[in-house]
Every structure is written in structure tokens, then in C-alpha cells.
Amino acid sequence: MKLLLHACCGPCSLEPVRLLRAAGHDLTIAYLNSNIAPADEYAHRLATLRAWAAGEQLPVIEGPYDPAAWEACAGRVGEAAHDPERHAARCRACYRLRFEEAARLAAAQGFDALGTTLSVSPYQYTDIIREELERAAAAAGVRPLFEDYRPFYDEATHRSRSLGMYRQNYCGCRFSDAEAAAERAERKAERAAAREAERAAHAEERAAAEAAQAARRAERAAYDAKQAKKRAVLKALREQ
């Protein structure tokens, strides 16, 4: 089957491409990701994807990079996001925009089906990805080919690291960048607090050990003083 595979980046493409090729599909990758910000991050991910795909003899189609269009839909939803349900709505709007663009491209260029690599990540909304992929494909008159690639996430991570591929530390949009930065800061603060608690615990242990040692010294000193007093009394008695 001639399949257009929407891809978000190189690392997330590794396992889907391997599995889809093994199934006999004729693949072309579509890089349609106006959500990615800033522009140099978009370019870095695309360059990583292109370099890997060239070695795989895998064609890559780049769609228009239009952050303003993304901001007008998903960005506007994201501005109102203050709870997990709104976060999901923001991601749904993002998936919808990108899948609609990919589905139109698939239909215009004669592809049989449309798939996506987004379901590799366990941090994405997999059910919503499927819903939006199927909706966009049906509207464009192409077959949706959804696969849940999450079981292959660890292998994709291992392979991408062994290949030295650039691995981003946030989903792509400005919201996910800020959220990931906040999570990293929180983890850093938690690690610092844990280290401080460990140091405090060690300090308490040292203080307790020193106090016990001082108590033993004081006890020994008191015993020595008592024995010295006894010896002095005995000596005085002998001298009488």
C-alpha cells in the first residue's frame, strides 16, 4: 500500500518505519509540523529526520511551516488551558490541523492511506490521535492506518541514542516547552531537596555519633575520677 506517514521527528519515525516496511508498505514521510517552536527547533528536527531518511532511501515531503495558522487554532485553545481536559483539547486541535493538512496532501498525491508516528510517545493522547487521524482521512477520502506504537517506545529511544540522533526534550509547541521546563525545574528542586535532606540526615547521624562519643568520654572521665578518689582514700588509710 502506498502510505503517507506523518512524522513529528526522526527518533519517533524509527520503529513505525521499520514495522510498516516489514508489512510491505511503500512509505513516504510527511513533515507537517507548524506546531514546533521556535523555528530553529523546527529546522533541527527536520534536518535530523532528513539525514536519517536519506540513509534509508526514504522520501520526505515538507509541508508549509505556518506557526500563525497553528496559533490561530491550537494556540488559542492552549491560551485557555488551565486543567488536563483543556490540555487534551489543545492537543486535539493541534493533531486536527496537522492531520487535515497531511490527509489533503495524501489525497492530492495519490496515496492510498495516511498514518502517523505520533502514537510512539506514551506522553501523547493516543485515543485522540486515532480519532483525529480517522476523521481527517475520511474527510479527504483516504484510508486511515492507525497503529499504537507505544510498546516500541523504549526500542525507539535506544536506537535513536545509538545512532546519535538529536532527541528533543519537549513535544514541540511553546506550551509543551514551558510545561517540560517547569517539570524539569520541579525535578531539579526535588533532587536538591532530597540531597539536602540526605545531608541533614547525615549531619544528624554525625551529631548523634559525636554526642554518644562525648557521653562515653564523660562517663570514662567520671569513672577515672571515681577510681582516683578511691585510690586517694586507700592511700590515706595506709599512711595513718
* Residue 73 labelled as part of a binding site: no
* Residue 171 labelled as part of a binding site: no
pLDDT digits (tens, 9 = 90+) for 182-202: 888 888 888 877 788 788 778
Cell, residue 219:
562517663
| Residue 77's pLDDT band (cuts 50, 70, 90) | confident
Q: Give every strand in the sheet of 2-6, ordered side by side.
A: 60-62, 26-31, 2-6, 113-116, 143-144
Note the pLDDT of residue 195. Answer: 84
Q: Is the model's pTM score more than 0.95?
A: no
pLDDT at 44 over 80: yes
Residue 236 or residue 167, greater confidence:
167
Buried b (16+ CB within 10 A) or exposed e, 87-103: bebbbbbbbbbbbbbbb
Distance CA 4, CA 15 (A): 15
| Residue 22's pLDDT band (cuts 50, 70, 90) | very high
Question: What proportion of the chain, given as a percentage, has pLDDT over 70?
Answer: 96
* Residue 173 labelled as part of a binding site: no
* Residue 9 labelled as part of a binding site: yes
Note the pLDDT of residue 196. Answer: 82
